[in-house]
Structure 1
Amino acid sequence: MIVWTADVQRPWWERYQVVSYKLVSRSGTEGDFRRMAWTCHRHGLRIYPNVQLKFMAMAASKGVGTGGTRFNADWNTPFPGVPYSNDDFMRMSEAYCDAPWGTNATQMRNCGGRMNLNQSRPDVQDKLAGFLNHLVDLGADGFRVDSASGQWPLLLKAILDKVKDITSGGRPFVILEVPNTIQHAVKPSEYFMIGHVTEFEFAERLGEAIMGDFRTLGSVVNLSLPMVPSDHALIFVDNHDIQRGRQRKGATILTHRDPHTYKLGQAFTLAYNYGMPRVMSSYYFSDNEEGPPHHPYYGILDVIRDVDGHCSNGWVCEHRWPAISAMVRFRNHVCTSEVKNWQVTEDTVAFSRGDRGFLAMGRHKFSRVFQTGLPAGVYCDIISDCKVNVTVNAQGLASVTPYARTVGEGQQDNIVAILNEKLPAWSDFFLHRLFSI
């Protein structure tokens, strides 16, 4: 499926150098994918593979893919493993494609440094739909479509319309990568008819607020800017691109490298009522090109977990951090409730989600009285796994202090979250989408 690279590190982006649709890579085989999907479904999780439908490998490249497929992007049939011939690719003039990038939608969709598939051809559409249908047969529940902004919306929709229903019933859930800026000639709204759209502006504005003044958190979501409406937005604190510096120049992105601010960003994202959140799960890297932890022969290392659930062997597993996993539970419970009782200073913020849940967090440890919006009672702080209880009086007020971790318990989490569990959780709607791949 993927081209071998001469880079000794086997960079992370080699997965985007497609040479066939065989499911053979250093992550495993087709059988491994099927077993993963089956295991995840048993535990209530769904699988959304990241798919590249626009490009094949770089023009003029040649070699052997990880699945054993030979290719040569100079041949008449450059990718025999599919097969694709030269007639299956776009042909645009160099002068047109070398024009300033991003200001012309036709240029963005018809040009590119890799072999750019002509999705208007019925045979190309059928091959791409066939690949997606095979993933559905193996257990995929939908797809994250890479470089969707470089694909004509109606042609992409025609391909996805050929994909069968998922095994559990219903249509595949689709996420589309469409960067969103004022200058960008391609607009996310062109893709709303297909699925959810990635919202990059949120991550940048959130990072600036968490690292700056908490009082700006109230305006992180500003739909007067080019931000995707909540019911179409797939949001994240970071993703594989922007945690490697691939974002607007000067933007502040929160990553696992600073766990404290990262947990604050994730807690806010999961507690707030905007978009559909995606939680990142990373590996450690020192070079932005570096691939995942691997053996000397480049097979990916297993994720090793200790008795406390922490990961090692080069893996970060942010989604397992208690302050983040607990907030997934919070999100599931409060779901569609409104944000109320907004209370903010430069370095603390607190708010309720109707009468279903309450969050308070601070840049530093704090002890304050907040309006929780919850009925009177004693509530368990889910961030500390109930090591702290919060007593709410008849007026909804409570004195809130984060759990003080001991030296052996790791870094202090200046976050408190409580739930009104006398009310049933709204839905598990977010649970099966947060940990997609």
Structure 2
Amino acid sequence: MRRVTAAALALVLAAAALVLAAARPAAAGPPDDRPGVTLFQWTWTSIARECTDVLGPAGYGWVQTSPPQEHAVVGGQWWTSYQPVSYRIESKLGTRAEYAAMVSACRGAGVEVIADAVVNHMSGQTGGTGWAGTPFSTERYPGPAGGYGPQDFNDCRTNIASYQDRYQVQHCRLVGLQDLRTGSEYVRQEIADYLLDLVSLGVRGFRVDAAKHVPAADLEAILGTVRATPQGRDVYVVHEVIGAGGEPIQPSEYLGSGDSHEFSYARHLKGQVQSNQLASLRDLRTQPWLLPSDRAGVFVDNHDTERNGETLSYKNGTDYRLANVFMLAYPYGWPSVHSGYAFSDHDAGAPQSGSGEVLDAACGQGTFTCAHRWNETAHMVGFRNAVAGTDLTQWWDDGGSGIAFGRGDRGYVALNAGSSALTRTFATSLPAGAYCDVVSGQASGGACTGTTVTVDGSGR
């Protein structure tokens, strides 16, 4: 059998071989061009272990953590992580020391760390004590450099009523969360200091939560301060900008300070997979309504969209797995796999102890989905790494539910969203040899634990 490190093929869904991707462009892309994973509401100790045991060996380039700052204590809901009380690195997911140890362990495994940064607002609570013991009241949040007072919040004290009104979206309150005056030099410096504190722990980048609620110029100023320092010079940023047709604020506005997440990609992928119209995805990367490929953070789902039904999620079974295979095989954007936990209640948090600490993730038991370990994700991460730098070749489709395409002379993928088996001989750009389908198994010790596929001298 021909060794699979030179090329890879997937007949049913995909195939893979593990190699390192090429260096990223200086102006765009995450800290490692290889695919990333969001381990939503995983504890720092769990992420550290996963980096060493799974993420590094599978070829993931980076992991995104949930927000690490001190948050309000309201209940067990997941969204408490998005209600800051202070910028102390202490939360229900772990301590500052555990976060630092996690970053070190991940980087030791070849996996960089991106933190989910909540900088648009503080909590939506009228007062109380934060997770780490910080007392706060309405518009008063103590901090090491003075914290925030009423003057540090925007004048609009009401909730956003119209998303067609740019001022409201960027100066009023998002679902009651107290909106920071990010046009203030003082507030900008406080946020920059928080981000630099995380950088000092080894964090290489940030997902900016609710970025569209902060004027793009404000984020450029804040991140400019971060990047003006030696330690923050190369920090990567991807903005959460939920673009919607007809709204005045769009993801492209934020490319001056980082990449943006492409929600339109995930929405479109859901529609085409569920309607069995995979053939329409051929020219997806050339659509004018998408961001340029090298500026787009792409995903099948994230923690919000898996709850509101905007995209596919683990609850969609095979459709979800197929969509992840396509995302990781198709040459568009910077892909990230989402891995959280099963839920029936929109607000339900991850499993917790009686005192509120989130429990360490346990794959194969409990409620954590561990979707990043599935063959359709973990092995397809290897596929994407193996075909890095190649273009789309030998596209085939049946006009509807069946598609297949190559990535140069290194890999080939076929997907069938239909209800009947798809059997045919495909024309590929692969050299002759025997290849391992890594969705059904994996290459191990020169052999294939799954289906073996033969390519003849004509590439068929």
TM range, normalised to the smaller chain? Answer: 0.7 to 0.9
Q: Within 1, Cα distance between the matches of 2:381 and 2:352?
A: 30
Q: Which residue identity is paired with 1:39?
A: A
Aligned to 1:413: none
**Alignment partner of 1:103 is 2:164:** yes
Equivalent residue number for residue 84 of structure 1: 148
Deviation at 1:375, TM superposition (A): 1.6
| 1:265-287 residue CA offsets vs partner (Å, 9 max, x unmatched) | 00000000111101101111110
Structure 1 CA distance, aligned partners of 2:205 and 2:137?
31
Percent identical pairs in the alignment equals 34
Structure 2 unmatched runs, 5+ = 1-69, 443-447
Give the structure 2 partner of residue 394 of structure 1: 457
The equivalent of 1:63 in structure 2 is 128
CA contact (8 A) 1:214 1:349 kept: yes
Q: Once the two structures are superposed, what CA deviation does each residue of 1:51-73 show, in whole Å capped at 9, x if it has no partner?
A: 11110111x61111101111111
Deviation at 1:139, TM superposition (A): 1.5
| 1:2 equivalent among 68, 71, 80 | 71
Corresponding residue SS for 2:319: helix
TM-aligned CA distance change 1:238 to 1:172, over 3 Å = same
Structure 2 partner of 1:328: 381
Aligned: 1:369 with 2:425: yes
Q: In the alignment, which residue of structure 1 is the partner of 2:296?
A: 233
* Counterpart position of 1:414: none
| Aligned residues of 1:210 and 1:217 also touching (Cα < 8 A) | no
Q: Counterparts of 1:99-178 in structure 2 under 5 Å?
A: 99=161, 101-112=162-173, 113-163=176-226, 171-178=234-241
Residue aligning to 1:296: 354
Contact 1:102 / 1:108 at 8 angstroms: preserved in 2? yes
Q: Which moved more, 1:191-200 or 1:216-225?
A: 216-225
Give the whole-Å Cα distance in 1 for the aligned partners of 2:229 and 2:406. 36
Matched AA of 1:47 = V
Q: Structure 1's 322 and 93: CA in aligned 2 closer, same or farther, altered over 3 A?
A: closer
The answer to whether the 8 A contact 1:133-1:164 is kept is no
**Mean CA deviation greater in 39-48 or 387-396:** 387-396
The structure-2 alpha-carbon separation of the partners of 1:380 and 1:170, relative to structure 1 and needing over 3 Å to count, comes to: farther
Deviation at 1:296, TM superposition (A): 2.6
| Structure 1 residues 366 and 168: CA distance shift in structure 2, 3 A | farther
CA distance in 1, matches of 2:229, 2:327: 29
1:118-151 CA deviation, whole Å, 9 max, x = no partner?
1122211111111111101111111000011111
Report the Cα offset of residue 168 of structure 1.
Answer: 8.7
Note the C-alpha offset of 1:220.
4.1
Q: Cα gap change, 1:127/1:98 in structure 2, threshold over 3 Å: closer, same or farther?
A: closer
SS at match of 2:238: strand
Q: Is the 2:199–2:232 Cα contact (8 Å) retained in structure 1? A: no
Deviates more, 1:84-93 or 1:285-294: 84-93
Which has the higher relative contact order, 1 or 2, with Cα contacts under 8 A spaced 6 or more apart? 2
Q: Counterparts of 1:333 and 1:50 in 2: how far apart (Å)?
A: 28
The alpha-carbon distance between structure 1 residues 244 and 93, as it changes in their structure 2 partners (threshold 3 A), is: closer
2: CA distance between counterparts of 1:183 and 1:333? Answer: 40
Superposition map of 1:31-50 within 5 A = 31-50=97-116
Structure 1 unaligned spans of 5+: 248-252, 306-310, 398-437
What amino acid is the match of 2:104?
Answer: W
Report the 3-state secondary structure (helix = DSSP H, G, I; strand = E; otherwise coil) of the residue aligned with 2:320: helix
Question: Take 1:254 and 1:20, find their aligned partners in 2: how far apart are those partners?
Answer: 34
CA distance in 1 between counterparts of 2:151 and 2:79 reads: 26
**Are residue 18 (structure 1) and residue 84 (structure 2) matched?**
yes
Verify the 8 A CA contact 2:100 2:202 in the aligned structure 1.
yes
Structure 1 residues 98-124: Cα deviation after superposition (integer angstroms, max 9, x where no partner)? 65x221222211111321111122211
Q: TM-score, normalised by structure 1?
A: 0.82
Structure 1, 257-266 or 28-37: larger mean CA deviation: 257-266
Aligned equivalents of 1:389, 1:279: Cα separation in 2: 26
Q: Distance in 1 between matches of 2:425 and 2:230?
A: 50
Q: Answer with 166-175 or 36-45: which moved more.
A: 166-175
Question: Could you tell me how far 1:25 is from its partner in structure 2?
Answer: 1.0
1:224 aligns with 2:288: yes
**Contact 2:199/2:231 (CA < 8 Å) preserved in 1?**
no
Matched, 1:360 2:423: no
**Deviations 1:231-274, CA, capped at 9 Å, x for gaps:** 11000000000000164xxxxx2211233221110000000011
Instruction: Provide the secondary structure at the position in 2 that maps to 1:379.
Output: strand
Secondary structure, counterpart of 1:50 in structure 2? strand
Name the count of aligned residue pairs.
376
Is 2:131 the partner of 1:73?
no
1:205–1:220: 8 Å Cα contact kept in structure 2? Answer: no
Query: 1:359 aligns to what SS in structure 2?
Result: strand
Matches within 5 A, 1:186-205: 186-205=249-268
Instruction: Determine the structure 2 residue equivalent to 1:278.
Output: 336
My pick for the range that moved more, 349-358 or 102-111, is 102-111
Instruction: Tell me how far 1:342 sits from its aligned partner.
Output: 1.1
Look up the equivalent residue of 1:352 and give its one-letter code: G
1:315 to 368, 371, 392: 368
